Amino acid sequence: MGYLSPALNVMIAAARKAARALVRDFGELENLQVSLKGPADFVSNADTRTERILVSELSKVRSGYGFLVEESGVIEGPDKSHRFIIDPLDGTTNFLHAIPHFAISIGLEREGLMQSAVVYNPITDEMYTAERGHGAYLNDKRLRVSARKNLKDSVIATGLPFLGKEGHERSLAELGGVMAVTAGVRRFGAASLDLAYVAAGRFDAYWERGLGPWDVAAGLLLVKEAQGIATDLDGGSKMLDRGDILAANEPLHPQLLKLLKEAGRKTS
């Protein structure tokens, strides 16, 4: 797994402990699918419990650190230079429908820079980790982004707005532009895993809008440590603030950035 800092060791252990309950819950979902009430309350409870376990486990060994968590928001700590950014269940809709594609995502930020990352799919037991300056790994395998240079050979991942979300017209314009010049587009429904797949070279690139910082904090470090590029959709570094991201290898990133900007202008 490469270099493991004490903090990354703690994050891995916390993710594995929280995952045990998620795996048990996931096993119950097929039965709940056929109930009249449905599994929504069950999934909400699973999400909240996973968050509670993660915060508790991380706080035991990093008691001064703050948190930014999807469900609870900001949890202040006396150490203002460090915070964990957590999505306890990224891919909630997949989990809700018993689709085995979801993850626990934990990023550690120090003075505004991501230092350590964990993205863990407990169903496949794929543990993606990264340490600033020490590379990205899938279990014991060192990761590198894909080497493809041409969009026509590339498979691109994205996320799309759903009921109640803004930006449908723009997303459709971007999707149409990318579909026309690539080998395919995939929509898997878990941003942290989309970014992990870019880091692993499974996807050649990924873009999305309307994200929270917990969706991308860990994944963007995975991409960068796998020698990829991650920016916002203006080419800047405000992914956590703006909620949009484009991740790719060096040859594909500028091509996609130009294409997405052109598609956006057509709807503005």
- The CATH code of the domain that includes 215 is 3.40.190.80
Query: Are 136 and 85 within one domain?
Result: yes
Q: Work out whether strand 79-90 and strand 205-208 pair parallel, antiparallel, or are unpaired.
A: unpaired
Q: What average pLDDT does the segment 148-172 reach?
A: 91
Query: Are 127 and 155 within one domain?
Result: no
Query: Are 173 and 204 within one domain?
Result: yes
Query: Are 128 and 14 within one domain?
Result: yes
Structure tokens at 145: 């982004």
Distance, in Å, from the CA atom of 175 to the CA atom of 185, rounded to the nearest integer, reads 8
Query: Are 13 and 108 within one domain?
Result: yes
Of 142, 172, 203, the last residue of a domain is 142
Query: CA angle 157-172-169, nearest 5°?
Result: 135
Q: pLDDT band at residue 2, thresholds of 50, 70 and 90?
A: low
Of 113, 142, 171, the last residue of a domain is 142
Query: Are 155 and 116 within one domain?
Result: no
Q: What average pLDDT does the segment 250-259 reach?
A: 98
49 domain-assigned = yes
* Confidence at residue 30, expressed as pLDDT on a 0 to 100 scale: 61
* Confidence at residue 101, expressed as pLDDT on a 0 to 100 scale: 97
pTM of structure: 0.93
* Confidence at residue 57, expressed as pLDDT on a 0 to 100 scale: 95
Percent of the residues in the chain that have a pLDDT greater than 90, as a whole number: 73
- Average pLDDT value for the chain: 91
Domain limits for position 81: 6-142
Query: Are 122 and 159 within one domain?
Result: no
Query: Are 63 and 110 within one domain?
Result: yes
* Confidence at residue 194, expressed as pLDDT on a 0 to 100 scale: 98
1 domain-assigned = no
* Confidence at residue 26, expressed as pLDDT on a 0 to 100 scale: 87
Q: pLDDT band at residue 41, thresholds of 50, 70 and 90?
A: low
Q: What average pLDDT does the segment 60-69 reach?
A: 91
33 domain-assigned = yes
> In the chain, how many domains are there?
2
Looking at the DSSP assignment, which residues form a beta bridge with residue 142? 137
Query: Are 20 and 133 within one domain?
Result: yes
109-121 b/e (C-beta count within 10 Å ≥ 16 → b): beeeebbbbbbbb
With a cut of 90, say whether residue 156 has pLDDT above it. yes
77 domain-assigned = yes
* Confidence at residue 234, expressed as pLDDT on a 0 to 100 scale: 94
Tell me the range of 64-73, 76-85, 211-220 where mean pLDDT is highest: 211-220
Residues 6+ apart with CB under 8 A from 254: none
Query: Are 127 and 35 within one domain?
Result: yes
Distances (CA, A) of 210 to 66, 71, 84, 85: 24, 16, 21, 17
Q: Which segments of the chain does DSSP mark as H helices, in order?
A: 6-32, 40-61, 92-96, 168-179, 191-199, 213-225, 239-242, 252-267
Q: Which segments of 152-212 does DSSP mark as H helices, in order?
A: 168-179, 191-199
Q: What average pLDDT does the segment 9-32 reach?
A: 88
Q: pLDDT band at residue 34, thresholds of 50, 70 and 90?
A: very low
* Confidence at residue 36, expressed as pLDDT on a 0 to 100 scale: 45
Query: Are 135 and 156 within one domain?
Result: no
Of 92, 114, 142, the last residue of a domain is 142
* Confidence at residue 46, expressed as pLDDT on a 0 to 100 scale: 85
Query: Are 257 and 169 within one domain?
Result: yes
102 domain-assigned = yes
Domain with residue 127: its CATH number is 3.30.540.10
Question: 248 versus 163: which is more confidently predicted?
Answer: 248
115 domain-assigned = yes
155 domain-assigned = yes
